[in-house]
Amino acid sequence: MRKKIVAGNWKSNLTVKEGCQLAKAIAEGLPEDSAAEVILFPTFLHLLAIQAASPIPVGAQNCSAYHNGAYTGEVSTAMLAAEHIQFVLLGHSERRQYFGKTDAAVAVRLQRVLEEKLTPVICVGEMLEARNTGEQFDIVRGQLEKGIFSVDIENPEDIIVAYEPVWAIGTGHTATTEQAQEMHAFIRNSLAEKYGNAAEHIRILYGGSCKPENAESLFACPDVDGGLIGGASLKAADFLAIIKAVKNI
């Protein structure tokens, strides 16, 4: 039984003070018998403050491809590990779209994350053009092969994958639960081809527009193991409603 994850990606939002207030509100609203594992992904600037303000685990939105050294502006995985930051988001669609992160760039960062025994959350997903031309499975398969399968992973069940239907985020298009399940099943089958039975233990999160209104139906899909939540994670009430949806499944 894979425990579902509800992760909040705050992106470049909130001051440190606002972030601490939000993290406290989420922590205070969590039910004692929560069925979900909850993670917050604030900016690097927020990490230690949020960690001190709330018992909820935090993760980094990115990491350096390099070890410590003369790499101005970078944050290494060794630095994250030293501060007990367990999770690292890799290959988010916005990193790919706006900052030129390629599958090869994801792979080298994945290697750094694994070297420090941290937990990667690796994002894959297709743009609208690929969806319209029916190439979505080829695109995602390529991202898996180049960004994940090219790295030697000793314990594949410890990685987390997040599927982002980029074509349905801020475009006016909506991904149905059937489309979400279809791609999640494809990803799990691809993982099984590479890792065998371990694929049944790898959690695959849905990184589309997950809201309180559709969280329960999405999380009920057999291969959807939770969500990587964007905008709804910036409001305590909405984020808590999504977390509580897990218990209703």
Catalytic residue, candidates 46, 92, 94, 184: 92
Q: Is 74 a catalytic residue?
A: no
Could you tell me where the DSSP H helices lie in the chain? 16-29, 47-53, 77-82, 93-99, 103-115, 128-132, 136-144, 177-195, 215-219, 236-245
**Looking only at Cα atoms, what is the longest distance across the chain?**
50
Question: Which residues lie below 8 Å from residue 203, measured CB to CB, with a gap of 6+?
Answer: 2, 3, 4, 5, 160, 161, 225, 226
Integer angstrom CA distances of residue 8 from 23, 30, 87, 94? 10, 14, 12, 15
Please choose, from the candidates 100, 91, 99, the residue with its C-alpha nearest in 3D space to the C-alpha of residue 163: 91
113 contacts 63 by C-beta, under 8 angstroms: yes
Closest CA to 84 of 114, 109, 30, 47: 47
Q: Residue 218 carries which side chain, given as an amino acid letter?
A: L
Catalytic residue (one of 46, 116, 164, 184) = 164
92 is a catalytic site residue: yes
Q: Which of 13, 78, 75, 95 is nearest to 50 (CA)?
A: 13
Residues labelled catalytic: 92, 164
